[in-house]
């Protein structure tokens, strides 16, 4: 595993952890974390490996994302990705739960991992569908 990818992963973790300080308020920090996860996701197997390595810490981070995502409106930010704050929380949950498949959705805009994977394939050219398919076969 690439150490730079792991550093970016942990940086994204820190950003997600800081969402607790923004409860009930908008922040573009979610977008910053998404960008980091996208950089790592260029090699989907590395992203999956990092999710597995940090699975215990991911549970805590996902609880923070859920607390933040349920305390806010779907505020939109001026960022290249677009979409609202709640959608961004769905995307963060997607990236962090690749290995477990326990995704949280905070809006009805994206309700399957395949929809989110397609968005990131179109937007950033990263293909996470192979990881999703593999994980689905392992969990059934």
pLDDT digits (tens, 9 = 90+) for 57-89: 999 999 999 999 999 999 887 889 989 999 999
First and final CA of the chain: distance in angstroms? 27
Model confidence at 140, pLDDT cuts 50, 70, 90, reads very low
Q: What average pLDDT does the chain have?
A: 92
- In angstroms, the Cα distances linking 47 to 20, 33, 120, 128, 131 are 24, 13, 14, 9, 9
Higher pLDDT, 18 or 77: 18
Give whole-number Cα distances, 69 to 45, 74, 95, 105, 134, in Å.
Answer: 27, 9, 15, 9, 28
């Amino acid at each position: 595993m690439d150490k730079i990818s792991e550093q970016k992963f942990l940086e994204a973790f820190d950003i997600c952890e800081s969402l607790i300080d923004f409860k009930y308020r908008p922040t573009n920090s979610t977008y910053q974390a998404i960008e980091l996860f996208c950089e790592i996701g260029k090699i989907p197997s590395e992203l999956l490996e990092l999710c597995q390595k940090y699975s215990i810490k991911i549970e805590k981070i996902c609880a923070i994302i859920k607390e933040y995502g349920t305390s806010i409106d779907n505020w939109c930010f001026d960022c290249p990705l677009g979409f609202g704050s709640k959608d961004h929380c769905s995307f963060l949950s997607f990236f962090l739960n690749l290995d477990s498949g326990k995704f949280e959705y905070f809006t009805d805009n994206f309700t399957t991992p395949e929809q989110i994977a397609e968005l990131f394939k179109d937007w950033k050219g990263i293909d996470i569908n192979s990881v999703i398919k593999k994980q689905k076969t392992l969990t059934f």
